Amino acid sequence: MPSKTEAETLSEVLDLAAAQFQVPRADLSGGDDFFAKLGIDSLKALEMLTRLENHFGVELPDYEMQGVSDFGTLADRIHARL
């Protein structure tokens, strides 16, 4: 099976976030701050991260996630572990 492109990974991240927080997918883009765009706190962000880790079958160490607050960087971190 060919590996995903970074764009495909980002698209899946955005799809999953939109579904989890009932936000229109068209309203989300890679440069968006997910805390602001989704109106979530750190606990909700952790829930989203856990769901993404399960979906992609990866584990993201806390040190890699510190300071990450936009979808594009989040997708990059996930993609690097695929």
Task: Please tell me the pTM assigned to this model.
Answer: 0.94
Range of the domain at 19: 6-79
Residue 2 clears pLDDT 70, i.e. is over it: no
Let me know if residue 66 belongs to a domain: yes
Let me know if residue 1 belongs to a domain: no
For the chain, give the mean pLDDT: 95
C-alpha pair distances (Å), 79 with each of 27, 35, 40, 57, 69: 22, 21, 23, 11, 16
Sign of the dihedral through C-alpha 68, 58, 56, 40:
negative
Count of domains for the chain: 1
Let me know if residue 62 belongs to a domain: yes
C-alpha pair distances (Å), 50 with each of 17, 23, 64, 74, 77: 12, 19, 14, 12, 14
Measure the CA–CA gap between 69 and 31, rounded to whole angstroms. 9
- Structure confidence by residue, pLDDT tens digits, 20-56: 999 999 999 999 999 999 999 999 999 999 999 999 9
Let me know if residue 71 belongs to a domain: yes
Say which CATH number the domain at 14 has: 1.10.1200.10
